Amino acid sequence: MGNVLSNLKPSALWKNFEDICGIPHPSKHEEKIREHVLSWAKAHNIECKVDDTGNVIMRKPATPGMENRKGIILQAHLDMVPQKNSDTVHDFLKDPIRPRINGEWVEATGTTLGADNGIGMAAAMAVFEATDLVHGPLEMLLTVDEETGMTGAFGLKAGLLNGDILMNLDTEEEGDLCVGCAGGTNANIKFQYTEKPVPADVQAFKIAVKGLKGGHSGVDIHLERANSNKLLNRILWYAFNNLEMHLASIDGGSLRNAIPRESFALITLPKANVNKFNEFIKEFTATVINEYKNVETDITILAEPADLPASIIDHVTTNNLLNAIYATPNGVIRVSQDMKGLVETSTNLAIVKSHNNVIDVMCLLRSSVDSAKEDLENMFACVYSLACAECTFNGQYPGWKPNLDSPILKEMLLAYEKQFGKKPHIGAIHAGLECGLLGGVYKNWDMISFGPTINFPHSPAERVNIASVEKFWEFLTETLKNAPIK
């Protein structure tokens, strides 16, 4: 990889991160990054192994005089979210991420950067290769597939790790100490459809909704950004009910935990209704731009003539799909009654995609309250039962309940105030951290999550603040020096 980040501090962390950027590692394709980490560990003479799930575990002994400290596990995940703009040519299975410095930030060009969670991984590696740090017994846990299923956390077995404290390096606001997170459920909906002949005397249109900001469906859900699937559905529902539209295909969103930024559909309309449709698109675009004028700055809605499709989706399924999508709850459902400003419950209508006589609708339901999550599941089941679709749920993972009496929390509060002259913020996040699952296996663990400032994760606008990385590193190393005594 190049040396774009070579002058940034701390140099070891940024070097590791730039090396990570050079190796494709989208979720479920962590083989190359795992090989890199194993080779790196061998080169630095670090004890390392891979568990049955593909997680990487390393150990580093305490520095002299620190053997009596509680063991700390530095934890990050190997995978990154592969998101790019539709006009960006990039193969996440082959091409490296190209980081660049833009003022106070490091970002990528047209793709996600992978600072989530490459910075956490790079920091843990920098700690393990350092010879001048003071610390107690250390372990490193790098999990697989955090972004799409938490497969690594689900598969971690008891007895593999010896530490007492888990430091999850996967929070995205410097100065925040995270002590809790939401749980989640995947909603999977399937519509079966029949292909029908294309009617006579029609014009085909390719509809595109794009230019939205998107973002992390947990961390950014409170920002009330537009959902491209919801916007596209408003167009299709109107045209279906007023202009004799037929739907040929639909393709919106790409990842369950990313707010969808781009959605596309191929439709047909009677030629007699083309002018009315064009006028509607013009009016609807103005309406949406006004609705989101304080949130979205680059909304683009296109309706361009296209070649006729080979077939269309049957009328009944189209009607059921569009009504159900319209009725599907999306965004913030409820805010926390216990922690001011925290989203308690939300949904993300992430993917709507037709293929091989099936339309898949995929959503992610989040809540820090189990009963509220179950209530959402019932709501989705009812909506899609009325729409004659199959609705199932999987991938359930628990939330992480805050422990304000945590020993590591107390040490980190003292360390941060001593270093930076102010108290850090203590809170929870409306996103799925692996802590809930990992703490269920290792019930003795004292857990905390923190990290540098990362904006817009899970979108091509992702960026990491340079100064915050240095503060994060200084805080991490100071905390290791002051680990609690056994």
Type of residue found at 117: N
Q: Characterize the bridge pairing of strands 56-60 and 138-143.
A: antiparallel
Cβ 364 vs Cβ 180: under 8 Å: no
Tell the burial category of 162 from Cβ atoms under 10 Å away from its Cβ (0-12, 13-18, 19+). exposed
Tell the burial category of 486 from Cβ atoms under 10 Å away from its Cβ (0-12, 13-18, 19+). exposed
475 token code pair: 């805080």
Cβ 84 vs Cβ 111: under 8 Å: yes
Total Cβ atoms within 10 A of residue 78? 27
Terminal alpha carbon distance of the chain? 42
Marked catalytic residue, from 107, 129, 139, 146: 146
Total Cβ atoms within 10 A of residue 382? 12
Distance CA(155)–CA(438), nearest Å, equals 9
Strand order in the sheet with 72-77: 47-50, 56-60, 138-143, 72-77, 165-168, 446-449, 176-181, 425-429
CA distances from 274 to 130, 136, 198, 315 (A): 67, 71, 16, 19
Per-residue DSSP letters for 350-419? EEEEEETTEEEEEEEEEESSHHHHHHHHHHHHHHHHHTT-EEEEEEEE--B---TT-HHHHHHHHHHHHH
Tell the burial category of 234 from Cβ atoms under 10 Å away from its Cβ (0-12, 13-18, 19+). middle
CA distances from 440 to 44, 398, 399, 445, 470 (A): 32, 9, 10, 9, 32
Question: Considering all CA atoms of the chain, what is the largest pairwise distance in Å, rounded to the nearest integer?
Answer: 84
213 token code pair: 């900001």
Give the CB-side neighbour count of residue 298, counting CA atoms within 13 A. Answer: 9
Marked catalytic residue, from 18, 19, 30, 79: 79
248 token code pair: 């040929």
Cβ 79 vs Cβ 145: under 8 Å: yes
- What are residue 440's DSSP bridge partners? none
> Is 146 part of the annotated catalytic residue set?
yes
Closest CA to 133 of 486, 473, 484: 473
**3-state class of 139 per DSSP?**
strand
Catalytic machinery residues: 79, 146
